[in-house]
Structure formats: C-alpha cells, structure tokens
Structure 1
C-alpha cells in the first residue's frame, strides 16, 4: 500500500508535466521571430501539392505517425546511418516520400527568410503543412498551435506497438488512442482522414481472399465493393499497387469515408469496425449525415493530436536540418 501511495504522485507529475508542455503551445508563437511563417509554409506546400496529390495523404499520415511515437517532435524525420531510426520500422516503411519532401521544401522556404532561418522547429513546420494539405483538399482550415521543439532521439524500437494496424478492433483502437489522450470520438474523427488516403493491396488482401474457412470474403464487406477490390488487387499483384481508401471522392477531404462505412465500404477491417461495433456506430452515422459535425470533431481531434508528448521551452532543439540532429 505504501508503495502504491508513492507511485501515484509520480504518475501525477508525469501527467501534469505533459499538460504544462502542451499548455505552452499557442497560435502566433512565431509572430515576432518569423511573422510570415504561415504564408511561407503554405506557399511551399501548395507548390508541392500541385506537383503531386500524394503530398496530401503523405503529409497527413506523417504527422500522425510522428505524434504517436515519442510525441509530435519530428523524430520520424530523422535518418540513421545504420537504418535504425523510426522511419526504418516496418510500420513506417510505407510512409510516402512525398510527405517527407513536403516538410523539407517547407523548411527551405521558411529558412529563405533571414528573420526565420533556424528559428522554427521541423515539428511545427510539419503541423502547419498538415493543416495546409487538409485545407487544399477541401477540408477545414483551422488555427495551429505552435511552439514545439524537435526531438533528438529516433529509434526503431520506439515504434513497436505504438501505431494502429489495419486489423485492429474497436477496443484496440480505443486503447491506443486513449494512451495518447484521445477519446473514441477523436479516434473516429481522425479515421476520417482516410477519405484522402491510399493503401497497398497486401494490407487488406486477407479480407477479400482468405478471411475464414467458410468465408473467403469478409461478410462485413459490401459484395460489389469486394468484387472491385479483387479486380484491382488480383492474387500475386505487385505489392506496390495502391488503392484509394475512399472509392467515391478520393481526392476530396469530406465525410464520404463515413457514408462509405454505412454501405460496407471500409477498406480495412479497422475502418469497418467503426460501423459494425454498436458503441461507435452512432458516431459514424452522425458524421455520415453531417459534414459540419465531422469537420468540427476533426478540428478538435487533430488539435489534441498536435499536443501529444510535445517538447517545449528548453527541451529538444530547433533542427537546422530536419533529417539529423544538430
């Protein structure tokens, strides 16, 4: 009992410390040091987006993968000479190169202004670029809290069991998101980002070819959609072939993802679970029927995501090169 009493204050200190770090984030953090920051980033991101659409889902996914491992500290951008960084973990190997390139281009644009050079963290540039790609694809434009510092550690081991997998159940999703201070509603709203996502055939082939002994096709899958997926992803397909996660409006950030779930057209079983599980089904219905409800929930959720495990004040550093520590 004595031991338990000792543990509680320590845990409380960790919680309070995390809360105080995120409390130091604020909009306009760079208003004096780099007043043109947001327009510099937006211009670079827009140029990159006009070159390739993958910029949008690639950058958004990069932000999510960064925040869920060691917090939003741009540690996912770090490279290791021995291929032992976060980005080298199997869960991160499918991150699109265009996402990384977007941050590097935006960082170069920021540093081209003498007032801003080496004053803005890569973590904050990634957070701003994420907001911009969401807006460029028709999603909401929201204020981004800034003031993050860049982490100095990036390891393969730290990624293990930190990111959701395509076959996760609602309980597994809720547990993982709760670990990062996010609710079930936050998790469902953030899943809506799949409206502009894509996935490789291998990530869902079991659902369309070998689901179970009696059912080669997952019975929660819309039959017509399953047939289309089999056409796009034949047996022994090139594993690099990627499929849009939203078959209806794949280049628009909208609530179609949720309307698709109602029709049995969630690509991953973790997507469809949001509709088949009675605990999350009402929220899916709400977002499917109201674009406004989805957008409001998404802004709230991605703002909370951007506070996860942040380093502020004198923690971490402002990286001169986003791919390596100073």
Structure 2
C-alpha cells in the first residue's frame, strides 16, 4: 500500500514538473519575440506572428520592468494586486526569488527585465500529488477497516452459532438428568450427594442458558452485584483444589448496577478457571470488588505462571490459547459479554512471568 501511494505521488510530481518546464519554455519564447520586435523592424507578416506569440500567453503572470523598476507592462496578475504600482513591483521581486528574471538588452541602454511565475493552474497542481496520495491512502485504510469489520462480524456470527448449538446439545441430556434427579430425591431426599449433584445440574442448566444468550441482546434485570459475585465465589470455592487459598473481598455496602447475572457469572468463572490453571492447582487466588471514579471494578489476582507480553496482548483474541488443548474461546467470549452487553471493559492490568496475573473487569455505573 505504501509503495502504491509513493508511486502515485512520484508520477504526479513528474507530470507537474514537466508542465512547469513547458511554461518556462513559453516565457522564453515570449521574451525572444519581444526582443526581436525591439531589435528590428519586422514585416507585417512577422508582426502578426509576434502578436500571435505574445497573445498566446493567457495564464502565465508576467511583469516587465526597466532598470529603474519602472513598470513597462504586466499581464495575468491576481486581482488582489490590482493596478497599484508599488504592489506590482513588490510582486516582481517575489517572482525574481522563484525564477531569475530574463534580461532584454535594449539599444537605448535602459535594459528590461521579464519577471514571471507559475500559472494559477500549475500552482494548484503542485498540491495535487500529495492530495491524491492522501485520498488513495484513505481509500486503502477504509478498505482495510471494512474488510476487518466484515471478518469480525463473520467471526461473531460463527461463535454465536456454535454457542447456540452447544446449548441445544446440552439441553437433551440435561433434561434426562433432571428427571433422574427427581427420582433420586424421592428415594433419599436428605443425601448430601443428591444435594451436590442437584447443584451441579443447576449449574449445567445455567451454562446452557449462558450459551443460548450469545448472539442475542440480554436483559439486564439483575442489580445486586455483590450477590452475583458472592454466589459465584461460594459455588467455585467448593469445586477448586483445596490447595488454593481462594479469598473474596467485597465492600461492606451494596453495589447496585444493572447486569445479567447468568452472563456475568460466566465471565467470573472463566477468569477463575484461567487463574486455577495458571497456578497448576495450588497457590493464592484473590477476588476483589470495589468502586473507583464511578466505575465498578472486579479484580481476579493469582500468583501463577504469569504471561509474556505477547501472550497478554493476544489473550482475548478468538482462537488464541496458551493451553495445548484450549480452544481460545473463554476469554474472547468474556470480553464480548462485558464490552457489548454491559458497556464495560476487561483487561489484564498486571502480569509477570513467575509472579502471577491480575485480570480486571470494569463496569460503568449508569
């Protein structure tokens, strides 16, 4: 793309330079015609030829002064200059800095000097190569942005389709498990195993509902953010390794912000599972919720393996995973849930190899 823009600018510049040289040649012919007319008394036919040459200049500004800067003639000056002698002489001096004046030696000794400049059209054309390059660059940038947007949209539809199909596939065995669960409760309703399996079935139902909501606009009917975080913590704490010191820090007051509990729970669960994997089943895991500058912040901090700069930059890209068997969907979908559905953001606020990683969720209060 850069080479194309540079090539266009160079080609256009060459054209402008060619036109400039042609105008200089026209001025040179004009000067020769004036000099010839002054040196000899031409015949009628020659006079007509000289007049044709002289009148052929319809665009190039020309000022003819004598040795004492007295105006002899001028043509095609801008309207701003007008007929003011002082302004015309000053303009001639400016022209002389750009193009050296052409001297016409006169027999009387009072030589004349022809000052000239580019025509208005040529002056405007000087900026054309850069303008053209700019528009071509804008076109390429827009095309790149458009293709990238189309690609991201297609990816979004693909992930949404996969998520809904997953929800559909989970639904059938889940319904059967719920039926068997009711039978087990009739036989032994107070069994601890029955209660735990019931919790897991409810969790599977929640997961199925999460996947079914991807691709559609969820309703933000839940408001108690503390309760959502607490429920996730209580469920996950009993299901991760006992070698992990998992703690939760919540503010003493209630945080009320519109959110979708099912989807926000999914985000939290993804971050917790990533942290557990990074610690290889043992270490310290801390989840904190606090307010800052009218934002709700949720931090998940672990002391696991940490990430390289490259890994941190690509962690939320669809399909990218540091795990050998990972699909690279969890963090990508989590980012989509936070950004598109909750008007927030999720990022890696701190990470260091061998010392751990801190994920931060930012939810803007209405």
TM-score norm. by structure 2 comes to 0.21
The structure with higher relative contact order (CA 8 Å, sep 6+) is: 1
- The higher radius of gyration belongs to 2
TM-score norm. by structure 1 comes to 0.23
